Amino acid sequence: MSEANASGLAETEVKARALDLKSLDNPRAMKLYRRFDGIIILVLFTFLVLGIQIQFTLTAGDWDYWIDWRDRRWWPLVAPFSLLLFIAPFTYGIWERVRLPIMATAVTTLLCLVSWLSRYLNFYEFTHFPLSFTFPSTYIGLGILLDCALAISRSLIVSTLIGGGLFGALVYPINWSFMAPYKVPVEFNGMLMSVADMMGYQYIRTTTPEYLRIIEESTLRTFGGSVTPLTAVFSALCGMVVYAAFLWVGYKINGLDKFTKRIV
Amino acid sequence: MMKLIAGKTGLRTLLAGLVMVLLAGDALAHGERAQLASMRMRTVHWFDTKVEPLNVKVGDIVTVTGKLVTSEWWPKHMPSIEETVYLNIGVPGPTFLRLHSEVNGVPMMRSTAFPLGKVYEYKTVLRARVAGRYHVHPILNVKDAGSLVDKGTWLEVAENDSGAPFVNEITTLTGETIDLETYGLDGVYTWHLIWIAMGVAYLLYWLIRKELFIPRFIRIRELGSDRANELMTKKDFVVSSLFFTTALALILGGYLWAENKYPITIPLQTGLVEVEPIEIPTGGLEVVVDHATYDLAGRSLSMQLQLTNNSEGPLRIGEFLTANIRFLNPDVNEGEIYEGEEMVSKDGLTVSVDTIEPGQTVDVELVASDALWEQYRMTGLIHDPDSRFAGMIFYYDENGERFFQEVGGAVLPNFF
Amino acid sequence: MAKENTQTVALDTSDDSKVAGHFKRNRFAYFFGALVIAAGTGIRIYLDTMGFTVGTDYYSEEFQKYWMPVLYGELILLSSFTVILSVYCWMTRETDASSISKELELSRYWKLLGIFTVMGIWAGCVASNAVESDAAWHQVTIRDTDFTPTHIVIFYFALPFLTAMLIPAFIWTHTRIPAYMNKISVPFLAVVCGILMIMPNYGFNEWGHTFFYAEELFAAPIHYGFVFLGWSLFFLVPLAMQLIGNMARLIAETTADDYQPAA
């Protein structure tokens, strides 16, 4: 109360805030608050689903649709970049105002659920691709790491460094558990191909030719010849930077919970 | 919602039946009619396209063969086929499996490059996968330019007799025989379920609590941002730490488990392959295009040509091909028409001089005229920013041997 | 609306059982939510059935017969829906905020949340059905014109329908709820403008496709316009905070022990 006064609030506002606080002990008010929570979760999450689906489809979708796009150099970089960019502004607002470290897990889990539904309806039912060729990747574990880093450290900066970094770095390992079988070698017409390449060749995509894939091509290898750890480190850096940048966007946007007198 | 979706199968069958009844005639194209007329005339000349057999069952083999010539009149505004190109097939999704494809005998799993003015013979072997009626088009995907489409051939695929699910087996280099239709899916489902369960559990922990959005909002506003962290309890800390550790352990454990189970893996394979082109066989006819006009009302293209026969026998012009439309000269009556072949105008070509004798130089007027010009939207030629045409002339010697040559040049419209 | 009735709605002081009360309270969301799901399912079945059979060639008679009327119907339906509802909300606007009781105000907040729930349900349908249907479509067919079946569904119905709901909801909120009357909520405006702008952005998309004609790289820069406009959803958080602040205040006041409803 005294703090509120010190911050220069009007007397009526101070009184109203005291009443707000008092309502937390009022079961009738709490019942309505809980009802509000239920609705706001539904609304927020359904809109989040649309937002992340548009964002992810149009930035990292190609890599996520086809198993023969999930390479070691581009996909582990593009996917976390796209996700962190979308997660950060929501995390900022929800953390600052209600202290809930949930947005990264919410976005990644919702993306996973909607991707499965969408792949089934659109790629399996509508256009006949087998799910073994078009299953989505998972990023849920990364979302949990990012949110938990925030919950444990209670600091956006620390969570950016630890969570943002891990989110970028671990895209390949988290998916490798079920992606490895698709990278087993096959011989075809005297050439070496992975199972994923073979699927890309056999399951015809009329306007997604082989050359359209933005994937790793041979070039100088550092870190003892490996590409995956190299991408992981760079992706961790990108994760931190993009997450920080969009937390700032979130900070700006969340300051705009205002009213204006007219449409400028 | 899932219930509603599940219930749609019956309605879909009904509607599909309705469509089948309504679709008596087949004049469907698959995107190519939207392409610029000049783009279709001056990029790739497809010919001898053959799809066989035309009636198959799921699991049967279909072979698509044909030839193509890359045009020397390739539009400058279009990225060239000399850079990157991929031999593809136009069917609605993987209704077929591609088992094999080759150009001039070279397997075409990857992309390649085609120099201009050369001949390429291609072959694609397909295996029918989903029952239905399909318009099968050979396609070349040219990098940054898009799909160059040959004409389509209708193909009927019936269900197989056994009704058994489609299986696509291959053997890996590690000696395992796998079915690509379902390969690896058990692992995919299991891991996704684990992660979804983790994600949902984490969200439920935070969202199912007595005080959520409004109460926390009020308390944080009251505490001020410096003390807002007081809302985070010790339990929150412990649970978050547990989730953090479990997630990290699952990620690393899953990675090591997969590394152990699949010790031999390779990166995705890519890169260009090289194909030796075939030179266009010269048949002794020298062609100079004097001028060409396009008659809008008459739906015809007239070409004034100066032809010199440098061969030792008489030559007769039998066919003009442009934008996948074949205009045949009925007087010559050569040139095979394949079963199910479309876009053929059997008497669409008129040639002012029937036979060009050896050593003779003659001015010849070629008129290619048919309603197909209109149907395939070639009337759009007038709207192109680069009004030029190209096509292929097919001519025959006295033994009926076929030769071909590309012609092209500027084209003027004739409005009246 | 009678005051007693309003109070019942706003504070849920009815005698209904828990389940019956829930359905009664949320009948707006249930009814219209079911309606939009039905509309979505219907158009999805139409797409599944008529997409590849008669939808691959804009210049064919079949396309003109089975798809273009759908497009015209959508355009007429959505534009009249938006205009009629918006004009109605505006014409019946209330100007005297002081005549609106706290209970009525709170009940209107609940109704606004109901409207948002319906929009959210639609957003979920669009996300799970429409967005990737266009991706799947373009990767197996040759780009024809802008009027492909999946575009007719997503660009001319699914996303504009969200705008068609948002605009009247925006006007309704700003003419019915005292906290929003005679001023404009910045985050609400940002959400509406962002989603609205997706429609003119089709122009950028199609213009871009005149360069690399028919290739379908989804991560291509010509698609980033949609991504950027999708970011307008970031403003949902400040909008939610506005609602939280206002509704908390109203609930705290009207549920207080010493609260006297206005006569």
Identify which of B84, B49, B72, B66 has the alpha carbon closest to the alpha carbon of residue B118. B72
Which two structure tokens, joined as six digits, stand for C69?
């009327």
Give DSSP secondary structure letters for A235-249. Answer: HHHHHHHHHHHHHHH
Average pLDDT on B225-245 reads 96
pLDDT digits (tens, 9 = 90+) for C128-161: 999 999 999 988 888 777 889 999 999 999 999 9
Average pLDDT on B114-141 reads 95
pLDDT digits (tens, 9 = 90+) for A56-83: 999 999 999 999 999 999 999 999 999 9
Contacts of A21 in chain B (CB under 8 A): 218-219, 222
Question: According to the model, what pLDDT value does residue C140 have?
Answer: 86
Question: According to the model, what pLDDT value does residue B36 have?
Answer: 77
Whether C45 and chain B come into contact, CB under 8 Å, resolves to yes
Please report, for residues A135, A166, A245, B220, the alpha-carbon distance to residue A147 in angstroms, rounded to integers and kept in the order given.
Answer: 25, 11, 17, 19
Instruction: Report DSSP state, residue B118.
Output: -
Give the one of C113, C142, C186 whose C-beta lies nearest to A206's C-beta.
C142
Question: According to the model, what pLDDT value does residue B20 have?
Answer: 42
Whether A183 and chain C come into contact, CB under 8 Å, resolves to no
Phi/psi for B258 (5° steps) reads: -65, -40
* Angle B36-B37-B41 from CA coordinates, rounded to 5°: 120
pLDDT digits (tens, 9 = 90+) for C51-89: 988 888 888 889 999 999 999 999 999 999 999 999 999
Tell if the CB–CB gap between C142 and B1 is shorter than 8 Å. Answer: no
| Rounded-to-integer distance, Cα A26 and Cα A7, Å | 27
Query: Which residues does B403 contact at the CB level (< 8 Å), separation at least 6?
Result: B281, B282, B283, B284, B285, B315, B394, B395, B396, B397
Alpha helices in chain A (DSSP H): 2-6, 11-23, 27-65, 75-98, 103-118, 131-134, 140-153, 156-159, 165-169, 171-179, 195-202, 228-254
Question: According to the model, what pLDDT value does residue B27 have?
Answer: 43
Q: Which CATH code is given to the segment(s) B28-171?
A: 2.60.120.570
Q: CA C27 from chain center: how many Å?
A: 18
Q: Is residue C14 very low, low, confident or very high in pLDDT (cuts 50, 70, 90)?
A: confident
| Rounded-to-integer distance, Cα B271 and Cα B404, Å | 33
| Rounded-to-integer distance, Cα B77 and Cα C50, Å | 35
Question: According to the model, what pLDDT value does residue A219 have?
Answer: 67
Contacts of B90 in chain A (CB under 8 A): 206
Question: According to the model, what pLDDT value does residue B30 have?
Answer: 64
Helix pair A140-153, A171-179: axis angle to 10 deg:
150
Longest CA–CA span in chain A (Å) reads 83
Chains A and B form CB pairs within 8 A to the count of 304
Tokens 């061969």 locate to: B311
Identify which of B170, B197, B196 has the alpha carbon closest to the alpha carbon of residue B184. B170
User: Of the CATH numbers 3.40.50.11610, 3.50.50.100, 1.20.1250.20, 2.60.40.1580, which one belongs to the domain with range B285-414?
Assistant: 2.60.40.1580
Question: According to the model, what pLDDT value does residue A8 have?
Answer: 78
Give the one of C44, C138, C234 whose C-beta lies nearest to A250's C-beta.
C234
Chain C interface test: which of A9, A24, A31, A32 (most C C-beta within 10 Å)? A32
| Rounded-to-integer distance, Cα C213 and Cα B34, Å | 10
Query: Which residues does B110 contact at the CB level (< 8 Å), separation at least 6?
Result: A210, A211, B86, B269, B270, B271, B272, B273
Average pLDDT on A178-199 reads 96
Whether A81 and chain C come into contact, CB under 8 Å, resolves to no
- pLDDT above 90: residue A6: no
Tell if the CB–CB gap between C123 and A50 is shorter than 8 Å. Answer: yes
Question: According to the model, what pLDDT value does residue B323 have?
Answer: 92
Nearest-Cα distance to chain A for B130, in Å, is 8
| Rounded-to-integer distance, Cα C40 and Cα C57, Å | 24
Chain C CA closest to residue B80 = C212
Are the beta carbons of A177 and B255 closer than 8 angstroms? yes
Question: According to the model, what pLDDT value does residue B26 have?
Answer: 44
Nearest-Cα distance to chain C for A224, in Å, is 31
Whether A226 and chain C come into contact, CB under 8 Å, resolves to no
Contacts of A159 in chain B (CB under 8 A): none
* Angle C20-C25-C29 from CA coordinates, rounded to 5°: 115
What's chain A's average pLDDT?
A: 93
Q: CA B309 from chain center: how many Å?
A: 39
- pLDDT above 60: residue C4: no
Q: Is residue C216 very low, low, confident or very high in pLDDT (cuts 50, 70, 90)?
A: confident
Give the one of C50, C140, C244 whose C-beta lies nearest to B92's C-beta.
C140
Burial string for B61-75 (b: 16+ CB within 10 Å, else e) reads ebebbbbbbbbebbb
pLDDT digits (tens, 9 = 90+) for B203-225: 999 999 999 999 999 999 999 98
Chain A CA closest to residue C236 = A44
Average pLDDT on B66-71 reads 96
Of the two residues B201 and C3, the one the predictor is more confident about is: B201
Are the beta carbons of A257 and C187 closer than 8 angstroms? yes
Which two structure tokens, joined as six digits, stand for A183?
């990278």
Average pLDDT on B289-306 reads 90
Please report, for residues C3, C12, C21, C22, C109, the alpha-carbon distance to residue C15 in angstroms, rounded to integers and kept in the order given.
Answer: 17, 9, 8, 12, 22
Question: According to the model, what pLDDT value does residue B47 have?
Answer: 96
Question: According to the model, what pLDDT value does residue C212 have?
Answer: 60
Question: According to the model, what pLDDT value does residue A261 have?
Answer: 87
Whether A50 and chain C come into contact, CB under 8 Å, resolves to yes
Query: Which residues does C205 contact at the CB level (< 8 Å), separation at least 6?
Result: C222, C223, C225, C226
Nearest-Cα distance to chain A for B53, in Å, is 19
| Rounded-to-integer distance, Cα B212 and Cα B202, Å | 15
| Rounded-to-integer distance, Cα C158 and Cα C202, Å | 14
Which two structure tokens, joined as six digits, stand for B326?
């074949």
Q: Is residue B22 very low, low, confident or very high in pLDDT (cuts 50, 70, 90)?
A: very low
| Rounded-to-integer distance, Cα B109 and Cα B99, Å | 10
| Rounded-to-integer distance, Cα A110 and Cα C76, Å | 34
| Rounded-to-integer distance, Cα B340 and Cα C245, Å | 70
Half-sphere exposure of A225 (CA within 13 A, CB side): 1
Chain B interface test: which of C142, C151, C216 (most B C-beta within 10 Å)? C142
What's chain B's average pLDDT?
A: 89
Question: According to the model, what pLDDT value does residue A1 have?
Answer: 42
Amino acid occupying residue B44: V
Contacts of B175 in chain A (CB under 8 A): none
pLDDT digits (tens, 9 = 90+) for A89-119: 999 999 999 999 999 999 999 999 999 999 9
Contacts of A36 in chain C (CB under 8 A): 113, 244, 247, 251
Average pLDDT on B109-125 reads 96
| Rounded-to-integer distance, Cα C163 and Cα C75, Å | 13
First CA to last CA distance, chain A: 37
Backbone dihedral region for residue B403 (phi beyond 0: left; psi -120 to 50: alpha; all else: beta)? beta
Percent of chain C predicted with pLDDT > 90: 67
pTM here is 0.92
Average pLDDT on A175-198 reads 96
Percent of chain B predicted with pLDDT > 90: 73
- pLDDT above 90: residue B164: no
B25-29, B396-400, C75-79: which range is least confident on average? Answer: B25-29
- pLDDT above 80: residue B305: yes
Whether B221 and chain A come into contact, CB under 8 Å, resolves to yes
Identify which of A66, A75, A63 has the alpha carbon closest to the alpha carbon of residue A172. A75
Query: Which residues does B289 contact at the CB level (< 8 Å), separation at least 6?
Result: B303, B304, B305, B407, B408, B409
Q: CA C39 from chain center: how many Å?
A: 13
Are the beta carbons of B385 and B339 closer than 8 angstroms? no
A 10 A CB-CB count for B210 gives 9
Backbone dihedral region for residue B72 (phi beyond 0: left; psi -120 to 50: alpha; all else: beta)? alpha
| Rounded-to-integer distance, Cα B149 and Cα B157, Å | 22
Superfamily holding A24-254: Ammonia/particulate methane monooxygenase, subunit A (1.20.1450.10)
- Domain boundaries C15-255, CATH class: mainly alpha
Burial string for C67-98 (b: 16+ CB within 10 Å, else e) reads beebbeebeeebeebbeebbeebeeeeeeeee
B291 pairs with which residues across the strands?
B304
Burial class (CB within 10 angstroms; exposed 0-12, middle 13-18, buried 19+) of C20:
exposed
| Rounded-to-integer distance, Cα B112 and Cα B86, Å | 6
Question: According to the model, what pLDDT value does residue B282 have?
Answer: 77
Give the one of B181, B244, B266 whose C-beta lies nearest to A183's C-beta.
B266
Amino acid occupying residue B152: G
A 10 A CB-CB count for A111 gives 28
Are the beta carbons of B87 and B146 closer than 8 angstroms? no
- pLDDT above 90: residue C259: no
- pLDDT above 90: residue B379: no
| Bridge-based pairing state of the strands B300-309 and B361-369 | antiparallel
- pLDDT above 70: residue C3: no
Omega before residue B53 within 30° of 0, cis: yes
Percent of chain C predicted with pLDDT > 70: 95
Identify which of C127, C145, B87, B299 has the alpha carbon closest to the alpha carbon of residue A50. C127
Question: According to the model, what pLDDT value does residue B385 have?
Answer: 81
Whether A229 and chain C come into contact, CB under 8 Å, resolves to no
Please report the sign of the dihedral spanned by the C-alpha atoms of residue C78, residue C82, residue C83, residue C84.
positive
Are the beta carbons of C119 and C166 closer than 8 angstroms? yes
Helix (H) or strand (E) holding B101: strand B96-103
Nearest-Cα distance to chain B for C74, in Å, is 20
3-state DSSP assignment of residue B177? strand
Which two structure tokens, joined as six digits, stand for B37?
């007329």
Chain C CA closest to residue B94 = C140
Average pLDDT on B2-27 reads 44
